[in-house]
């Protein structure tokens, strides 16, 4: 654990960048520092690897004051990733990634094979190994930055807005990759961003800072969205906080019906019989192929008439079991009929749900607080821990419980 204990940083010109910040950063999880520009995120991060020394307070790593460790050893135990990757322009990709291993005295061959292994891990094709950074896209450079930080397998990763300079699609890819890597490696990651969506997606714990390095709230994302501590946090979370919170509610409990679903080879009699039952709820039927995969919505009357019935696109289906109520609601909103389509692993229509049904599920979920759970930190050998914030402090409470992992879709 990294403990930031009443740490302040005042710059010589009198700026208080960080003011008595207390924050417990749990092991093997992603802790995000988020907040507006100038609120002290970078300063805090750099105090952890002693690129900046605090004016007051102390920082402990596994119970030991970091000032008691040789600074080189400390930094080697902490990979550091920054915006624009900060790669050495005159070194190839493998050489960049192998920088720290070489410093640690590994021979060229071993550093190189480690670098190639890491390229694969971060999703980089090995054909890029001999290129120079300028011959890579921004997203690829960021991947190299992550690989370089991981090269000597440090237990801690410090990441300062690593994905801010790339476009949203590349950024999403990088975020997904980081989550995959983290699921495998279980590093202690401190991640700085000013993007609240990124914080919610990546963070096991999110520290919302405001100007002056003042801790506004420290909580798992789910808790942040459901109970922002004050107006500042609420503003920072943005207007669609409620919608985003739905990512934490599992859609598997949603009551689906398969009544308005019909295969494309159904006879007019079958269609008429079906629509007699479904007409009170909807004039439409979801037409599937003979395998049960959705094709689109048609008016039951047109289908029964046997004419070429107009087929409306069904928008985008949500996955039963994997997706959240947010995805289900999105699916209903995008559907021209207002009905969401759920599919199974094989892409077959598992059922449909009307907007009102989803609204009802949302009300029930809120009432029962039957959240998917805060993201679970997986410890070694299958021990699972749930980390939550302690209201009003930077401290965390860790409970070892057996829970299903929740996805956020
Ligand atoms: N060397 C310095 N001397 C004086 N003030 C500084 C120095 N470095 C940073 N600051 C100030 O400290 C405050 C916090 O800066 P910091 O870089 O930690 O913010 P940040 O949260 O990382 O912002 P951003 O999101 O823009 O990167 C700012 O007001 C900044 O101007
Ligand atoms: Mg910064």
Please state the domain extents for the chain: 2-240+377-400, 252-368
Per-chain mean pLDDT for the chain: 88
pLDDT at 116: 95
Identify whether the C-beta of residue 263 lies closer than 8 Å to the C-beta of residue 299: no
Q: Is 40 in the pocket of ligand 1 (CB under 6 A)?
A: yes
Most ligand 1 atoms within 8 A of CB, residue of 21, 40, 161, 165 to mutate: 40
pTM for the model stands at 0.82
pLDDT at 370: 44
Ligand 2 center from residue 124 Cα (angstroms): 27
CA 51 to chain CA centroid, nearest Å:
28
Ligand 1 center from residue 208 Cα (angstroms): 16
Note the pLDDT tens digit of each residue in 121-151.
Answer: 888 999 999 999 999 998 899 999 999 999 9
Q: Is 17 in the pocket of ligand 1 (CB under 6 A)?
A: yes
Atom of ligand 1 nearest to the CA of 36: 25
Task: Quote the CA–CA distance of 99 and 22 in Å, as a whole number.
Answer: 33
Q: Among 175, 114, 180, which residue's Cα sits nearest to residue 147? A: 114
Tell me the ligand closest to 35's alpha carbon. 1
Q: What does 258-325 look like in DSSP terms, one character per residue?
A: -TTEEETT--HHHHHHHHHHHTTT-SEEEEE-TTS-EEEEEEHHHHHHTS----B-----EETTT-BH
Q: What percent of the chain has pLDDT over 70?
A: 91
pLDDT at 398: 66
The protein residue with its alpha carbon nearest to ligand 1, atom 11, reads 17
pLDDT at 21: 94
pLDDT at position 288 over 90: yes
Q: Among 255, 285, 283, which residue's Cα sits nearest to residue 270? A: 285
Phi-psi region of 175 (alpha: psi -120 to 50; beta: other; left: phi over 0): alpha
The protein residue with its alpha carbon nearest to ligand 1, atom 28, reads 38
Atom of ligand 1 nearest to the CA of 192: 22
Q: Among 407, 124, 377, 92, which residue's Cα sits nearest to residue 252? A: 407
Q: Is 256 in the pocket of ligand 1 (CB under 6 A)?
A: no
Burial 322-361 (b: 16+ CB within 10 A, else e): ebbbbbbbbbbeebebbbbbbbeeeeebbbbbbbebbeeb
Ligand 1 center from residue 142 Cα (angstroms): 23
Ligand 2 center from residue 301 Cα (angstroms): 61
φ/ψ (deg, to 5) at 176 = -60, -40
Q: Is 9 in the pocket of ligand 1 (CB under 6 A)?
A: no
Mean pLDDT of 361-368: 81
Q: How far is CA 362 from CA 239, 264, 319, 324, 332, in A?
A: 18, 33, 17, 11, 13
The protein residue with its alpha carbon nearest to ligand 1, atom 10, reads 17
pLDDT at 404: 39
Most ligand 1 atoms within 8 A of CB, residue of 14, 42, 212 to mutate: 42
DSSP tally for the chain: helices H, then strands E: 15, 19
Q: Is 38 in the pocket of ligand 1 (CB under 6 A)?
A: yes
Atom of ligand 1 nearest to the CA of 209: 21
Note the pLDDT tens digit of each residue in 199-229.
Answer: 999 999 999 999 888 899 999 999 999 899 9
CA dihedral 391, 397, 401, 403 (to 10 degrees): 50
Ligand 1 center from residue 41 Cα (angstroms): 8
First-to-last CA distance in the chain?
29
Top mean pLDDT of 231-235, 363-367, 378-382 is at 231-235
pLDDT at 405: 38
Fold (topology level) of 2-240+377-400: Rossmann fold (3.40.50)
Identify whether the C-beta of residue 369 lies closer than 8 Å to the C-beta of residue 200: no
Query: 2-6, 121-125, 223-227, 383-387: which range is least confident on average?
Result: 383-387
pLDDT at 212: 80
Ligand 2 center from residue 37 Cα (angstroms): 7
Task: Quote the CA–CA distance of 350 and 332 in Å, as a whole number.
Answer: 15
pLDDT at 338: 92
Ligand 2 center from residue 329 Cα (angstroms): 36
pLDDT at position 375 over 60: no
Note the pLDDT tens digit of each residue in 232-281.
Answer: 999 999 878 888 888 888 888 888 999 999 999 999 899 999 988 888 88
386 DSSP β-pair partners: 376, 399
pLDDT at 383: 45
Task: Quote the CA–CA distance of 297 and 314 in Å, as a whole number.
Answer: 6
pLDDT at position 305 over 90: no
Ligand 2 center from residue 132 Cα (angstroms): 27
pLDDT at 386: 58
CATH code 3.10.580.10 for 252-368: yes
Q: Among 100, 116, 391, which residue's Cα sits nearest to residue 226? A: 391
pLDDT at 379: 39
pLDDT at 261: 95
pLDDT at position 113 over 70: yes
Ligand 2 center from residue 38 Cα (angstroms): 7
């Amino acid at each position: 654990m990294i403990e930031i204990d009443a740490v302040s940083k005042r710059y010589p010109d009198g700026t208080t960048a960080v003011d008595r910040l207390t924050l417990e950063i749990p092991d093997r999880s992603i802790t995000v520092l988020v907040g507006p520009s100038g609120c002290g995120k970078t300063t805090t991060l750099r105090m952890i690897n002693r690129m900046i020394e605090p004016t007051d307070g102390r920082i402990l790593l596994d119970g030991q004051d970091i000032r008691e460790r040789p600074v080189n050893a400390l930094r080697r135990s902490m990979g550091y990733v920054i915006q624009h990757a900060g790669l050495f322009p005159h070194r190839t990709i493998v050489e960049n990634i192998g920088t720290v291993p070489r410093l640690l005295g590994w021979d060229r061959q071993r550093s190189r094979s480690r670098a190639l292994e890491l390229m694969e891990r971060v999703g980089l094709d090995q054909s890029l190994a001999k290129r120079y950074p300028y011959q890579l896209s921004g997203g690829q450079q960021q991947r190299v930055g992550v690989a370089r930080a991981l090269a000597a397998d440090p237990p801690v990763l410090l990441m300062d807005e690593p994905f801010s300079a790339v476009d949203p699609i590349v950024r999403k890819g990088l975020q997904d990759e980081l989550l995959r890597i983290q699921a495998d490696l279980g590093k202690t990651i401190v991640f700085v961003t000013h993007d609240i969506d990124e914080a919610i997606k990546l963070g096991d714990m999110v520290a919302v800072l405001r100007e002056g390095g003042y801790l506004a709230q420290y909580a798992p994302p789910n808790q942040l969205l459901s109970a922002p501590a004050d107006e500042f946090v609420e503003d920072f979370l943005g207007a669609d906080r409620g919608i985003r919170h739905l990512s934490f509610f599992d859609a598997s409990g949603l009551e689906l019906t398969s009544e308005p679903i019909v295969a494309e080879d159904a006879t007019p009699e079958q269609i008429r019989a079906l629509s007699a039952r479904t007409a009170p709820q909807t004039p439409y039927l979801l037409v599937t192929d003979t395998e049960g995969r959705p094709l689109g919505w048609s008016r039951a009357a047109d289908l029964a008439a046997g004419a070429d019935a107009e087929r409306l696109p069904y928008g985008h289906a949500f996955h039963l079991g994997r997706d959240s109520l947010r995805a289900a609601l999105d699916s209903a909103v995008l559907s021209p009929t207002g009905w969401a389509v759920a599919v199974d692993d094989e892409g077959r229509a598992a059922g449909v749900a009307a907007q009102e049904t989803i609204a009802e599920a949302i009300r029930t979920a809120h009432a029962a607080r039957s959240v998917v759970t805060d993201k679970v930190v997986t410890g070694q050998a299958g021990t699972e821990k749930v980390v939550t914030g302690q209201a009003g402090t930077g401290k965390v409470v860790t409970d070892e419980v057996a829970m299903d992992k929740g996805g956020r879709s």
